[in-house]
Amino acid sequence: MKPLQIRLTTLTSIVLATALFRLIPHWPNFTPIAALALFGAATFERKWLGLAIPLAAMLLSDALIGFHGSMGAVYTSFALTWLLGLWALNKPTAARIAGASVASSILFFLITNFAVWYGSSFYPQTLPGLMGCYAAGLAFYNGTSFFLNGLLGDLFFSAVLFGGYYVLQQRFFVLRPARR
């Protein structure tokens, strides 16, 4: 196998395994979604694969979990997080990864809660209605915050993905990207 094929196979396996985490019981919103988008943007040498493979893994896990009405907002957030990763993580550092993880959590919160508000009969279609929707999104559910869980999940899975892949690269030189 050529080095590029080994890297691609390894990255694809990591992404698929991480996406499957969504199938086991977990805290609400504590998922690897944003981390997968950031990891794909930062690690795949063929950048389009860094979007396509994590997106396919998301679709596969969603097919097993079940699709829902706000899928468009989730996938829009995923694609924008991937773009954020392209921009912010062209040279990943721990600080950049943490910053991109926090930014992606905020982006996800804003987009998905906007989607809940837009066209809703529950919230008035006004600026105060939108703010009320965002406030409700911060509310606690069963003792935990959806936003806080999302933020912690993004940071945790980003640390596991980027840290784990860094350790693998130190052990297996073939996983290091080709010099340009």
**CATH number, domain containing residue 106:** 1.10.1760
| Cα distances (angstroms) measured from residue 12 to each of 32, 42, 47, 80 | 15, 13, 13, 20
Instruction: Give the pLDDT score at 127.
Output: 96
Each residue's pLDDT tens digit in the chain (180 positions)?
A: 888 899 999 999 999 899 888 888 877 778 898 999 999 999 999 999 999 998 998 898 888 888 888 889 999 999 999 999 999 998 999 999 999 999 999 999 899 999 999 988 999 999 999 999 988 887 755 556 777 888 899 999 999 999 999 999 999 999 988 765
Instruction: Give the pLDDT score at 150.
Output: 85
128 lies in some domain: yes
180 lies in some domain: no
Torsion-angle region of 104 (φ positive above 0: left; ψ -120 to 50: alpha; else: beta): alpha
142 lies in some domain: yes
147 lies in some domain: yes
d(CA 72, CA 17): 23
The count of domains in the chain is 1
d(CA 125, CA 157): 35
Instruction: Give the pLDDT score at 22.
Output: 85
Q: What share of the chain is helix, strand, coil (3-state, %, to 5)?
A: 75, 0, 25
pTM value is 0.89
Instruction: Give the pLDDT score at 144.
Output: 62
- Domain of 82? 3-175
Instruction: Give the pLDDT score at 140.
Output: 57
